Amino acid sequence: MSSLIAHSIRVVGLSVVTVLLAYILRDEIYQRITFDSYVESNIDSTAEVLIIGGSHAGLSAALTLARHQIDVLILDSNAPRNKWKTPTHVVPTWENRDPDDLRRASREELRKTGFARFADTHVSTIKKPEANERVEFVFPFIEGYEENFPDHILHCLFTRGLEFKGSPSAGLLAMGLAGAPHHAAMLVEDAQKFAGTVTIYTNGDAQLGGGIRKALLERGEENPIIDNRKIIRLLRDPAGVSITIVLEDGEMTTESFLVHQPDTRANSEIVKQLGLKTNERNDIVTKMPFYQTSVAGIFAAGDCASPFKMIPNAIFQGSNAGAGIARELPRRVTNNEVNRLGEQKLTWYGKFRSRING
For every residue of the chain, which 3-state class applies, written as one string? Answer: CCCCCCCCCEEEEECCCCEEECEEEEEEHHHCEEECCCCCCCCCCEEEEEEECCCHHHHHHHHHHHCCCCCEEEEECCCCCCCCCCCCCCCCCCCCCCHHHHHHHHHHHHHHHCCEEEEECCEEEECCCCCCCCEEEECCCCECHHHHCCCCEECCCCCCCHHHCCEEEEEEECCHHHHCHHHHHHHHHHHCCCEEEEEEECCCCHHHHHHHHHHHHHCCCCCCEEECCCEEEEEECCCCCCEEEEECCCCEEEECEEECCCEEEECHHHHHHHCCCECCCCCECEECCCCEECCCCEEECCHHHCCCCCHHHHHHHHHHHHHHHHCCCCHHHHCCCCCCCCCCCCCHHHHHHHHHCC
Which CATH number is correct for 10-134+264-334, 1.10.230.10, 3.40.50.80, 3.50.50.60, 3.90.226.10?
3.50.50.60
pLDDT at residue 30 greater than cutoff 90: no
Structure confidence at residue 214 (pLDDT): 96
Kindly report, residue by residue over 210-239, the tens digit of the pLDDT: 999 999 999 999 999 999 999 999 999 988
Kindly report, residue by residue over 300-338, the tens digit of the pLDDT: 777 777 778 788 888 888 888 888 888 887 777 777 887
Q: Range(s) for CATH 3.50.50.60 in the chain?
A: 10-134+264-334, 145-259
CATH superfamily of 145-259: FAD/NAD(P)-binding domain (3.50.50.60)
Structure confidence at residue 25 (pLDDT): 36
Most confident residue range from 32-36, 151-155, 230-234, 267-271: 230-234
Structure confidence at residue 259 (pLDDT): 96
